[in-house]
Structure 1
Amino acid sequence: MTRVWTVPVHDSTRVRDARVAAEEAGSRAGLDAHRTAVAALVATELATNLLKHAGGGNLVVDLVELPGTGTRGRAVQLVALDHGPGIRDVAAAMRDGYTTSEASLGAGLGTCRRISSAFGVYSTPRGTVAGARIGQDAGPEEPRPPARTGGINIPLARADHSGDAWACARSGSRLTLMLADGLGHGVKAAHASGAAVDELHRVGHLPPAEILRRLHGALRDTRGAAVAVAQLDSGSGELAFAGVGNIGARLHAADSWDHLVSHPGIVGAQFPATVPVRHRPWRQDGLLVLHSDGLPSRWVPPDDPALVAHEPTVIAATILRDASSAASPARDDTCVAVLTSERQVERP
């Protein structure tokens, strides 16, 4: 099941909560004591920045699976989101040891980037999103695929488990991204989406429609889920998409957004006789966004070229943050997953 720690950081006591969440996540991910301490350090620095520079925000801590490794290659993911004034000089803030906060540990964003397996920051006057991933080994993950995936998952009402889940699987030239939304929310919904993740690692080498059929069998003993599968074949340069249920999908290419529509049904309960598969060419500037129905249906896609050049996790988190509002609070778990070309990822 998808375990998520959502820490609202609005006073100094929450900085400790952020550190404790990172330590627990590191233990669950199987990190050694050193890398768990690294996760705790990064969490503390991000939480301190939220408090001192943004007037508060949220830190989301969860476990992600590294492509092609399944649960054997888990990492701790930390995402800080705020609606503060933004970072005036991101380049300066990314230098090792840079800090303007007396409460900071002095690590700074630059040090956080250096000791993390992956790190990214996107900042505008509307706020800042910072994302870090800490695996067992420091430094960039190798080998790099022709495309990258990332996502963010926030349970309803800061519950321990989310009924949504995203995962990716790699087989040869195929990279498959899946997003599952277990019916309802809570532990039983998380059990359904978790079963979908487990099955994906067994059948990710198959075409999208066949993957969904296999998932249908694997989810029969659960309450079922809405599931979408997007598979990029780097050899043919084609993206194939198929979905059953209300998973949203939008593909950005050539300065426009294309809706990829899922078929009605429930994987594990009411599976359609035929699953339509939509094929699209994958461009070097390609960007695919999958999301559960926790995201408002009328969310506005990002139009900032600087954003789409960032880490997929940062893109996903920014989309989720900007789609939500106090006037329209979330009524379900919310998950956003992103697939983007490797060459467009910005590493400041």
Structure 2
Amino acid sequence: MSQTPRQDQFIANDVTSNSSNTTRPMLVKEYKKIGHGAFGTVVQAFLTPDNNKWYGPFAIKKVPAQTEYKSRELEILRIAEHPNVVKLEYFFTHVSPQDNKVYQHLAMECLPETLQFEIHRYASNKLELPLKHTKLYTYQVARGMLYLHALGICHRDVKPSNVLVDPNTGVLKICDFGSAKKLEQNQPSISYICSRFYRAPELIVGCTQYTTQIDIWGLGCVMGEMLIGKAVFQGQEPLLQLREISKLLGPPDKKFLFFSNPSYDGPLFSKPLFTGTVKERFEKHFGQAGSDGVDLMMKILTYEPERRLSPRRILAHPFFDDLKKERYFFPRGHTQPKCLPELFDFTPFEMQVIGELAPEVQPQE
């Protein structure tokens, strides 16, 4: 009598390797639930073709298999190959015994933690994330974006819980491409995208012709959160989010609102909600980042998307000079320094995007 697999293990008949494109049946053994959201669930699992050699562990994301349109996430992950973007190893479909529906399974490389967890761990112990870590992680998010944006891919949900880290090695990878989209010029996209605390101001006021610069706003919010241990802008509802942004940046000007959405008729928060200059506010909030850190934050968190720094200009910013000079850091709980992960091993494609900024981005040996 054949033994029926337990609920946590099953045979998937169409496991396709993303690197070799070959498809074969494999036994999937799930052993830990590691996340869930509106999209579905993420479990940690191993795969084996023959019960002898086990592959993994992988983080397997299960999402309902949409029949009407191909999964954008799968399409993007199939082509994305970058050290700061989570790697898709295998994918397959399987009918869930719980509801008899077909689910798309994406088996991706596994990292121990999310950046959100790492920030929270320091903040809950009333500690600051070391500045070197903030530089290291911000730099890698920007490098991942340099690559994605050059392909026209906008992540559209940049936040600390969608960034994976290995605190021991300092390696970071952007994950969860469930909202990502390849933006086509002059094609509208929905503005109700991005988690509220990280939503760019043009999205809040209803802009539908936005660019990949909405991800740069998210990057600024992530960097700010590493610096202060909590989300920078915490509006309790979408329009109050704009009020929180106005407290730091001052009120949005009419031109910005008109170009974002000519029919916007919400609150303008035109009375400044603070005294002093914008620079003073940034220094008060993010002073521990030093003058270069404050300068970088001010060049990222601006209303006008076209004025926000591009990924290559972020990589060239002096805030990261430290990473080129002293290529080590102290992982949490370690008394001995460790080498930084490889940060400057740019591919020819990346070098092409970096262009004339290469001397400022690459370490000068």
TM-score normalised by the shorter chain: which range applies?
Answer: under 0.3
Identify, as 1 or 2, the structure richer in strand.
1
The structure with the largest alpha-carbon Rg is 2
TM-score (norm 2): 0.27
TM-score (norm 1): 0.28
